[in-house]
Amino acid sequence: EDQVTQSPEALRLQEGESSSLNCSYTVSGLRGLFWYRQDPGKGPEFLFTLYSAGEEKEKERLKATLTKKESFLHITAPKPEDSATYLCAVFTGTASKLTFGTGTRLQVTL
């Protein structure tokens, strides 16, 4: 069974304090790893898709990387508006559906 584990469960940063969120996975036949941002009471907002180990993608202050066992979401010089829950999900050929982690709740304070 596909498993996705995100850590930490919650993270509090000061504005400008860079950090990384982790998503480790145990799957058979990874076809894609997805990162989403979810604000309270809202649906997830798509950020990145990574397909193979070594791949990296960037968007503003966010950078996602992928290895054969895990993915990192690096946040550089975060701002309060980056506060949200960040979700990781994997798509495998076996399951043919997304399996989500429980997310990391990020709070960025002034």
Partner 1 sequence: GAVVSQHPSWVICKSGTSVKIECRSLDFQATTMFWYRQFPKQSLMLMATSNEGSKATYEQGVEKDKFLINHASLTLSTLTVTSAHPEDSSFYICSAPDRGTNTEAFFGQGTRLTVV
Interaction of residue 45 with partner 1, rule CB under 8 A: yes
Comparison of 46 and 68: residue with beta carbon closer to partner 1? 46
H or E stretch covering 99: strand 98-100
49 binds partner 1 per the rule CB under 8 A: yes
DSSP string, 35-97: EEEE-TTS--EEEEEE-STT-EEEETTEEEEE-SSEEEEEE-S--GGG-EEEEEEEEETTT-S
The only residue of 1, 41, 54, 81 in contact with partner 1, by rule CB under 8 A: 41
x/- site string to partner 1, residues 51 to 70, per CB under 8 A?
--------------------
d(CA 54, CA 84): 26
Secondary element (H or E) of residue 7: strand 3-7
The half-sphere exposure of 43 on its side-chain side, counting CA atoms within 13 A, is: 1
Q: Report in angstroms how near the CB of residue 41 gets to partner 1 at its nearest.
A: 7
Of 73, 103, 104, 108, the one binding partner 1 by CB under 8 A: 103
User: In angstroms, what is the minimal distance from the CB of 55 to partner 1?
Assistant: 14
Residue ranges in contact with partner 1 by CB under 8 A:
4, 32, 34, 36, 41-46, 49, 87, 89, 97-98, 100-103
